[in-house]
Structure 1
Amino acid sequence: MKRLLAGYAASMNRISVFIGQSCSMLLFACILVSAFEVVMRYGFDRPTVWSTELAMTLCASAWVLSVGYVTERHRHISITMIEMLVSPKLWRVLRLIQMLIATGAVLVLTMALWGPAMKVLRRIETSGTALNSIQPSYFKLLLTAGCILYILQLAANIIHWAQDSEGDVAGGH
C-alpha cells in the first residue's frame, strides 16, 4: 500500500509540474495578445473587441491551472517567521494541519462550484459583451478543474509528509 501511495504521489507531482510549466505558454500568449492590441489600438486606430477577454481568459487559466505546481513546489505564500519561532518537529505538524485545513476548504469550494459547473454543461452562459464569449461557462468549469487539481496535489503532499519524503519545503507551507 505504501508503494501504491508513493506511486500516486510521484505521478501527481509529475502531472502538476507538467501542467504548471505548460501554463507558461498561456502567459506568453497573453503577452502576444496584449501587444497585438496595443499595436492595433495605437498604431492603426483599430482596437479589437476580443483581446481584453482573451487576455483575461489566458491569464486566469494559467493562474488557476498552476495551483498544483505551486502546491507541489511548496511555494504558496506563507508566514515563514512562525517556522523560525517553533521547533522543526512542531513546524512539521503545523504543515500537516495546514494541508488538512486547505484540503477541507478546497473540498467545500469544489462542492459549491460543482452545481454551477454542471449547469453550464447543459446550457452555455455567455458574457453579454460585444464578443459575447462563453467566458462565464469556461471559468466555472476551469475553477472546478483547478480545485480538483489542488485537492489531488494536496493529497500527494500529505502522502509525502506521511512517508517523510517531502524534500525541500523551506519557504513554503
Structure 2
Amino acid sequence: MNRLLASYANGMDRVSVFIGQSCSVLFFACIAVSAIEVVMRYGFDRPTVWSTELAMTLCASAWVLAVGYVTERNRHISITMVETLVSPTVWRVFRLIQMLIASGAILILSLALWEPAVKAVTRMEHSGTALNSIQPAYLKALIVAGCALYLLQLLANIIRWFQRTEGELDGGH
C-alpha cells in the first residue's frame, strides 16, 4: 500500500510540475498580447477590443493552473516567523494541520463552485464586453479544475508527510 501511495504522490508531483512549468508560456503570451496592444494603441491609434480580456484570461489561467506546482514546491506565502519560534517537530505537525485545513477549505470551495460552473458552461455565459467572449464560462470551469489540482497535490503532500519523504521545505518566502 505504501508503494502505491508513493507512486501516486510521485505521479501527482510530475503532473503538477509539468502543468506549472507549462503555464509560463501563458505569461509570455500575455506579455506579447500586451505589447501588441501598446503598439496598436499608441503606434497606430487603433486599439484592439480583445487584448485586455485576452491578457486577463491568460494570466488568470496560469495563476489557477499553477496552484498544484506551488503546492508541490511548498511555495505558498507563509508566516515563517512561527517556524523560527517552534521546534522542527512542532513545525512538522503545523504543516500537517495546515494541509488538512487547506484540503477541507478547498473541498468546500469546490462544492460551492461546482453548480455555478456547470450553469455557466451549460448556458455558455459571455462577458458582455465588446469582444463578448466566453471568458466567464471558461474561468468558472477552470477554477473548479484548479481546485481539483490543488486537492490532488495536497493529498500527495499529505502522503509524503506520513511517509516522511518530503523534500526540502523552507517555507513560502
Under TM normalisation by the shorter chain, which class is it? over 0.9
Deviation at 1:167, TM superposition (A): 1.0
For normalisation by structure 1, the TM-score amounts to 0.98
Equivalent-residue separation in structure 2 for 1:3 and 1:121 (angstroms): 39
5+ residue gaps, structure 2: none
The amino acid across from 2:42 in the alignment is Y
Q: CA deviation at 1:171?
A: 2.0
TM-score relative to the length of structure 2 = 0.98
Partner of 2:104: 104
Name the counterpart of 1:77. Answer: 77
State the match for 2:66 in structure 1: 66
* Amino acid across the alignment from 1:164: R
C-alpha displacement of 1:118: 1.3
1:41 match: 41
SS of match in other structure, 1:6: helix
Number of residues of Structure 1 aligned to a counterpart in Structure 2 = 173
- How do residues 7-156 of structure 1 correspond to structure 2 at under 5 angstroms? 7-156=7-156
The CA RMSD measured in Å over matched residues stands at: 0.9
- Distance between the aligned counterparts of 2:168 and 2:9, measured in 1? 16
Partner deviation per Cα, 1:94-120 (whole Å, 9 max, x = no partner): 000000000000000000010011112
CA distance in 2, matches of 1:75, 1:122: 35
| Percent identical residues | 75
* Cα distance, 1:129 vs structure 2: 0.6
Q: Secondary structure at the match of 1:78?
A: coil
Q: SS of the residue aligned with 2:23?
A: helix
